[in-house]
Amino acid sequence: MKEIQKNVFRLLLNFFSPAAGKRKKPPELKKYTSILLLFCFFLIFFHENSAAGAPLPIPSFKIGIEEAESPGEVAVVLQIIALLTVLSLAPAILILMTSFTRLIVVFQFLRQALGTSQSPPNQVLIGLALFITFFIMSPVWQQVYGSALKPYLDKEISYKEAFEITREPVRKFMLRNTREKDIALFVKAAGEERPQTKEDVSLLVLIPAFVISELKTAFIVGFVLYVPFLIIDMVVASVLLSMGMMMLPPIMISLPFKLMLFVLVDGWNLVVGSMIKSFGVF
């Protein structure tokens, strides 16, 4: 085998040597030079592996259902599947069951009221809303971690008990920010009996009611934010019309005044502070 390798390498060296370049090569040989080199490379190493008695392994993949040795193995697999399902729904949970919805809608209305279509950019507004959501929801998440997640990781309670304990702080937060009219709408649509207490409201009814309540609150805040900037636009448009500058867009003149007003009143502090207070954080 070593003699074969030496002969092949010697052949390649003679072919690619400077002296060989002076000789005239057949056109067919020039055309298949790269193919010949690749073939020789595989020939050498495949023969070497064959001589050593170690053929290249071919992997195989198997997907199937096998008999479990104990019920615990099945439970672990089901828990992993449930965990992956929760992780796939994590963005929806973060958006719809926290304060994120109200914050991002209000920030979008604020940007439109200012007349700055791309400033601040979407990444900045989403990041700001996300971190404010962490701040607002931190008491709820601390309570969930201390009473449910940590005991479950320490194997003090089962995952069913952890889920039941986790549900209560989240339920209280959503009930505190949900209108009774919206809850009644989904209770009637679901055909359920009228709940006697807040604890009787199911999550199937509470979550959509909380979402539409948050949207209504965000639209009310957006309307309040629009009013002062709308007045500035109307005043500027009236002044330009009285001066005969009908071809000049009013937004070009009103934008600096709106930015100046927003900065002078410390608008970001007022808006963010009001949004945090609306959730009863302080």
Task: Give tens-digit pLDDT for 160-217.
Answer: 787 788 888 888 888 888 888 888 888 888 787 887 877 778 888 888 899 999 999 9
* In the predicted structure, residue 28 carries a pLDDT above the cut 50: no
Tell me how far apart the alpha carbons of residues 93 and 138 are, in angstroms, rounded to a whole number.
15
pLDDT of amino acid 267:
86
- Cis peptide preceding 139, ω within 30 of 0: no
Q: How many CA atoms lie within 13 A of 126 on its CB side?
A: 6
- DSSP label at residue 149: I
* In the predicted structure, residue 117 carries a pLDDT above the cut 70: yes
Q: Quote the pTM value.
A: 0.66
Residue type, 181: K
Rg of the chain over all Cα atoms, to the nearest angstrom: 35
The residue ranking higher by pLDDT, 247 or 207, is: 207
Tell me how far apart the alpha carbons of residues 184 and 209 are, in angstroms, rounded to a whole number.
9
The residue ranking higher by pLDDT, 70 or 239, is: 239
Count of C-beta atoms within a 10 Å radius of residue 257: 14
Mean pLDDT of 125-138: 90
67-86 pLDDT per residue, tens: 555 555 555 566 677 667 76
CB neighbour list of residue 170: distance below 8 Å, 6 or more residues apart: 97, 140, 144
pLDDT of amino acid 215:
92
